[in-house]
Amino acid sequence: MEKLAIGLMSGTSLDGIDVVLAKISGVDLDTKVKVLEQHTYPINDKLILKIKDAMDDVKSNSKLISSLNVELGYAFGHAVLSFCKDFNIDLNGVDFIASHGQTIYHIASDEKDYVRSSLQLGDGGVISHVCKKTVVSNFRLADMAAGGQGAPLVPYADFVLFSNKEHNRAIHNIGGIANMTFLKKSGSLDDVIAFDSGPGNMMINEACEALYHKAYDEDGLIASRGKLIPKLYESLMAHPYFQMDYPKSTGREVFGAFYISEYLKMYKDEKAEDIIHTISMITVDTIVDSYKELIKQNVDELILCGGGALNKFIINDIAKKMPNTKVYTLENFGYSSQYKEALAFIILANQTLNHKPSNVRSATGAKAFKVLGQVNYNY
């Protein structure tokens, strides 16, 4: 039976709340989905500061996190209401809402005094109350309880949408963090390889804010004017995360503001455009190395998405370094690069409501297939 669903996504870039309306039917590989409307709503500056404080080991506290969880729930809920008003959508006709939430902290594997865990704020119960709809949220912990890293989760949707019998395909989302899904031609779900390759836009955006008071490097124009700073490049590329084998995942707690700010201090005498160029090359080369050094399989088609897919410098350099691969953006396949993750969580939530698993064990390292997410029903 066909259903109408709304997907919500707020990523590590903090560039807004993505809202997608789609029709969805079927389950598993019989899932069919069609996007109807999509839009991004800004997060107000005060709320962004609270999110950044919650991510900061020094500024964060339990009172802030408790409050922010509810405040973000209201923000997501009101984004849905605004979306329905702006696009003349009858919310009564929507069957469910899928919300990823705002990631605050991600511990990919057990540490000495901490267990693997992941915290996404934006309470589903609050969203359900505001919108009077069933909400599926908090997708990651079921996978982590089964021994997985809780990330990446989008590969299940990639498998449903982009599996191909004739070509090895890879989908690389360049958000704040860059994550990839490799789909072997005629492969099964257990053949899927997926992991976070490293920083996507995160370090670039932080440097642009610090050096230019700009939120990001539009079209990669700043990077295209700069030159490589070899010592900075070598130091950044030496990060142990890039040498780790998959499954692996990372986030702002590793490559966020504190990390890159130390390098900006060390290289403050260098030209600003050279710093942006060098940091951008970290994104490019860690993406390329994901295929050449880690999975070591031929990629016939590479599909780029996320905000970084709009960065011409990044796209062009990836294409140059992968000459035997056809490089596309998601738009070539009828989807929007910006809204793909919000759409993916609609697919995952549809699985959840049909009591079907949607984690990819080969991607997360989980020992079992799990039905993901927690459901807040509206009666």
| pLDDT reported for residue 14 | 84
C-alpha to C-alpha distance for 290 and 313, rounded to whole angstroms:
19
| pLDDT reported for residue 325 | 97
Average pLDDT over residues 183-191: 93
Average pLDDT, the chain: 95
Please provide residue 27's backbone torsions phi and psi, each rounded to the nearest 5 degrees.
-140, 170
Which residues make Cβ contacts (< 8 Å) with residue 337, sequence separation at least 6? Answer: 304, 305, 306, 307, 309, 310, 329, 330, 331
CATH superfamily of 155-333: ATPase, nucleotide binding domain (3.30.420.40)
Average pLDDT over residues 87-93: 97
C-alpha to C-alpha distance for 131 and 109, rounded to whole angstroms:
35
Which residues make Cβ contacts (< 8 Å) with residue 316, sequence separation at least 6? Answer: none
C-alpha to C-alpha distance for 149 and 140, rounded to whole angstroms:
8
Residue with structure tokens 């951008």?
280
Tens digit of pLDDT for each residue in 37-47?
Answer: 999 999 999 99
Going from N- to C-terminal start, the domains of the chain cover 3-152+337-376, 155-333
| pLDDT reported for residue 294 | 84
| pLDDT reported for residue 170 | 97
Say if strands 134-137 and 374-376 run parallel, antiparallel, or are unpaired: antiparallel
C-alpha to C-alpha distances, 183 to 119, 167, 319, 331, 368, nearest whole angstrom: 28, 9, 19, 19, 20
Is it the case that residue 12 has pLDDT exceeding 80? no
Which sign, positive or negative, has the C-alpha torsion 331, 333, 335, 337? negative
Average pLDDT over residues 270-292: 97
Does a cis peptide bond (omega within 30 degrees of 0) precede residue 152? yes
C-alpha to C-alpha distance for 85 and 83, rounded to whole angstroms:
5
- Are 332 and 318 a contacting pair, CB within 8 Å? no
Q: Report how far Cα 106 is from the mean position of its chain's Cα atoms.
A: 13
Which sign, positive or negative, has the C-alpha torsion 255, 260, 261, 262? positive
Is it the case that residue 379 has pLDDT exceeding 80? no
- Are 310 and 200 a contacting pair, CB within 8 Å? no
Fold of 3-152+337-376: Nucleotidyltransferase; domain 5 (3.30.420)
Q: What percentage of the chain has pLDDT greater than the value 90?
A: 89
The reply to whether 3-152+337-376 and 155-333 are identical in fold is yes
Average pLDDT over residues 159-185: 94
Q: What percentage of the chain has pLDDT greater than the value 70?
A: 100
* CA torsion angle 103 26 354 184 (round to 10): -50
Is it the case that residue 296 has pLDDT exceeding 90? no
| pLDDT reported for residue 133 | 98
Is it the case that residue 295 has pLDDT exceeding 80? yes
User: What are the DSSP E strand ranges found in the chain?
Assistant: 3-10, 17-25, 32-41, 96-107, 117-121, 134-137, 169-174, 177-183, 193-199, 301-305, 326-329, 374-376
Tell me the three state secondary structure of residue 119.
strand
Average pLDDT over residues 349-375: 96
Is it the case that residue 216 has pLDDT exceeding 90? yes
Say if strands 32-41 and 301-305 run parallel, antiparallel, or are unpaired: unpaired
Average pLDDT over residues 181-205: 94
Tens digit of pLDDT for each residue in 305-337?
Answer: 988 999 999 999 999 999 999 999 999 999 998
Beta bridge partner(s), residue 172: 180, 304
Is it the case that residue 1 has pLDDT exceeding 90? no
Is it the case that residue 136 has pLDDT exceeding 80? yes
| pLDDT reported for residue 193 | 94
Is it the case that residue 13 has pLDDT exceeding 80? no
Query: What's the pLDDT band for 63 if we cut at 50, 70, 90?
Result: very high
C-alpha to C-alpha distance for 120 and 339, rounded to whole angstroms:
19
